[in-house]
Amino acid sequence: MVKAYAITADAVAAERARVNDDLDKVDISRVVALDTLELPEVGPTDVHLRILAVSAEHNVDHAALADTVNITQLRGGKIYPGNSAVGEVLAVGREVTRFKPGDIAVTHCIGEPDPYGYPLRIWAYDQPESTGWYGEEAVVGEWQLIAAPLDCGLSFWEIAALPLRAPTAYHLWRRAYGIYRVKVPREHRATINVLGFGGGVSELFLMLAKHEGHNAYFCSGSPERRAALEELGITGIDQKAFNRFASRDDVKAFSGQVKKLTGGVGMHVVCDMLRGPVFPAGVACAAREGVNVSAGWQLSKSIQYDSAGASVKQLTLDHTHYETLIGCTAATELYGTVFKPTIHKEIYAFEDLPRAMHEMHLNTQTGIPIIRVANDLPASVAAIA
């Protein structure tokens, strides 16, 4: 038995009743609660991990709000969330070849791959029977782990920010860029304009674009997060100056600003992740032959658009979910060289994980939120913590 956080359908329902279904008033820290979890036996292909640190991820927010689907109810009334972690290997099954006790590993969040390696479902979310890593220890399959690149130049906390968000960004970028290149080859245009709207995944997406020599723009409401990206040469655009696109006039003003910034051309690639009012702004500012890509639906699950307008502009909308197994390993190669995440100024203690989740929900954090799970860190990790 280990301590692990859980979300129950009863807690979701009780919180919804308390706030009369007004999701703006939900207190996530009343829904995510410390529980216990019985670990399974370590099978021949399994790895027993001691969790060292985790990042707060938005799927926990969606699970606690039950705003996209009521995943806790669909999973039988209780889930153990947490699908981004860094851990120390305690023991391995007899057929495990890539890890030994003492190694440090990062996770990916694929629950079960399809024949091409893409996730059919996500671990600790909709993958049946999966239990997450917001706990002291876990037993996982070897296939779920990637060696942590401790010598990549990032601090341990920065590394802990990346296991879920970096592969998401890596996949979004290679898909969006590849699609754009089908339409406009390098022969015709070398440098493209790339826009991302606020959020940890978008920040990493823009780091990829910038690293490959493109013009990158970050439209966010957070001055701290814009400032961090400006240091990497990524131009900030204040989303709040356009009232977060509350009206058509705001979208028009934003589109005008983008035209000014890009010499009248617009954005060749846009990473959305939020949908809702952000989607029309991303479409309005797109360049001809542009690509609008998203793996998220934080503000709305549905979108509406003018299909004729998109055709005339040769605009492509692409929906991604998460990287393939192989792609997750490739994304991990880029820790430190390309991915330099901004992390929230407080490293939360394990007992403060519910507060970290709530502050993520309130959007008051200055970077990706990290929770320290283990008090004592192995020497290799302590050296970069």
Ligand X SMILES: NC(=O)c1ccc[n+]([C@@H]2O[C@H](COP(=O)([O-])OP(=O)(O)OC[C@H]3O[C@@H](n4cnc5c(N)ncnc54)[C@H](OP(=O)(O)O)[C@@H]3O)[C@@H](O)[C@H]2O)c1
CB of 245 vs ligand X, minimal distance in Å: 8
Q: Report the side by side order of strands in the sheet with 235-238.
A: 235-238, 215-220, 193-197, 267-271, 286-294, 316-319
From the list 359, 385, 284, 374, the residue with the least C-alpha distance to 27 is: 359
Q: Quick one: 100 or 248, whose CB is closer to ligand X?
A: 248
- From the list 81, 163, 199, 341, which residue makes contact with ligand X (rule: CB under 6 A)? 199
CB of 185 vs ligand X, minimal distance in Å: 29
CB of 40 vs ligand X, minimal distance in Å: 25
DSSP assigned state of 135: B
DSSP assigned state of 265: -
Segment interacting with ligand X, rule: CB under 6 A, options 7-15, 73-81, 219-227, 337-345: 219-227
d(CA 170, CA 330): 9
Q: Quick one: 99 or 125, whose CB is closer to ligand X?
A: 125
d(CA 283, CA 308): 13
Query: Residues in contact with ligand X, total (CB under 6 A)?
Result: 30
Segment interacting with ligand X, rule: CB under 6 A, options 38-46, 141-149, 162-170, 284-292: 162-170
CB of 300 vs ligand X, minimal distance in Å: 10
- From the list 130, 239, 262, 316, which residue makes contact with ligand X (rule: CB under 6 A)? 239
221 binds ligand X (CB under 6 A): yes
Residues 105, 272, 25, 62: what is their CA dihedral angle, to the nearest 10 degrees? -40
d(CA 341, CA 153): 12
- From the list 86, 96, 278, 381, which residue makes contact with ligand X (rule: CB under 6 A)? 278
Going by DSSP bridges, is the β-strand pair 286-294/267-271 parallel, antiparallel, or unpaired?
parallel
- Which residues neighbour 220 within 8 Å (Cβ) at sequence distance 6 or greater? 197, 198, 199, 226, 236, 237, 238, 239
- From the list 29, 144, 193, 220, which residue makes contact with ligand X (rule: CB under 6 A)? 220
236 binds ligand X (CB under 6 A): no
Site string for ligand X, 340-369 (x = CB under 6 A): --------------------x--x----x-
Which amino acid makes up residue 191?
A: T
Residue 33 · residue 141 · CB < 8 Å? no
298 binds ligand X (CB under 6 A): yes
Residue 49 · residue 140 · CB < 8 Å? yes
Q: Find the binding residues for ligand X in span 164-183 (CB under 6 A).
A: 164-165, 168
d(CA 110, CA 121): 7
Q: Quick one: 61 or 137, whose CB is closer to ligand X?
A: 61
Q: Quick one: 37 or 251, whose CB is closer to ligand X?
A: 251
Q: Quick one: 62 or 355, whose CB is closer to ligand X?
A: 62
59 binds ligand X (CB under 6 A): yes
- From the list 48, 175, 210, 244, which residue makes contact with ligand X (rule: CB under 6 A)? 244
CB of 373 vs ligand X, minimal distance in Å: 19
Site string for ligand X, 299-328 (x = CB under 6 A): x---------------------xx------
Secondary structure E strands in the chain: 2-8, 32-37, 46-55, 78-79, 85-92, 104-107, 110-113, 119-122, 137-141, 145-147, 193-197, 215-220, 235-238, 267-271, 286-294, 316-319, 343-349, 368-372
Q: Quick one: 96 or 162, whose CB is closer to ligand X?
A: 162
CB of 315 vs ligand X, minimal distance in Å: 21
Q: How many CB atoms lie within 10 A of CB 11?
A: 17
> DSSP 3-state assignment of 193?
strand
273 binds ligand X (CB under 6 A): yes
108 binds ligand X (CB under 6 A): no
What residues line the site for ligand X (CB under 6 A)? 58-59, 62, 164-165, 168, 198-202, 220-222, 225, 239, 244, 273-274, 278, 295-299, 321-322, 360, 363, 368
